Chains A and B, each alone.
Chain A
Amino acid sequence: MPTQANKLLPYTIIGDGIPVSLTGSPGDAARGRALVLARTTTCILCHSGPFPETRFQGDLAPDLTGTGNRWSVSQLRLRLVDASRFNPDTIMPSYYRNDGLVRVGRNFAGKPILSAAEIEDIVAFLATLRD
Chain B
Amino acid sequence: MISWRAIAAATLLAAAAPVLLAGEIPPDARRSGYAFMGADTRAMQDDDTSNPGMLFVLDGEALWAKKIGSADKACADCHGDAQSSMKGVAARYPAFDKALGRPVTLDQRIILCRANHQQATPLPYESRDLLALSAFIAHQSRGTPITAGDDPQAKPFVEQGRVLYMQRAGQLNLACTNCHDDNFDKRLAGAPITQAQPTGYPLYRLEWQTLGSLERRLRSCMSGVRAQAYDYGSPELVALELYLMSRAHGLPMETPAVRP
Select the residue from A42, A44, A91, A103 with max chain B CB neighbours within 10 A.
A103
Digit string of A68-82 for contact with B (CB within 8 Å is 1, else 0)? Answer: 000000000000000
- On B, residues with C-beta under 8 Å from A are 167-174, 178, 182-183, 186-191, 223, 226-229
- How many of A's residues come within 8 Å of B, CB to CB? 24
Q: Which residues of B contact A111 (CB under 8 A)?
A: 171
Bound-state CA distance A75–B200 (Å) is 45
- Grouping DSSP codes into helix (H, G, I), strand (E, B) and loop, the A interface class, with mixed when no group exceeds half, is loop
Q: Are B189 and A39 in contact (CB under 8 A)?
A: yes
Q: Are A101 and B178 in contact (CB under 8 A)?
A: no
Interface membership of A59, Cβ < 8 A:
yes
Name the contact of B188 in the complex, choosing from A46, A93, A107 (C-beta under 8 A).
Answer: A46
From 26 to 77 in chain A, residues with beta carbon under 8 angstroms from any chain B beta carbon are 39, 42, 44-46, 55-60
Min CB–CB distance A49 → chain B (angstroms): 12
Select the residue from B182, B183, B189 with max chain A CB neighbours within 10 A.
B189
Interface membership of A10, Cβ < 8 A:
no
- On A, residues with C-beta under 8 Å from B are 39, 42, 44-46, 55-60, 91, 93-94, 101-108, 111, 113
Min CB–CB distance B177 → chain A (angstroms): 10
CB nearest neighbor in B for A110: B171
Bound-state CA distance A72–B187 (Å) is 28
Q: Are B188 and A105 in contact (CB under 8 A)?
A: no
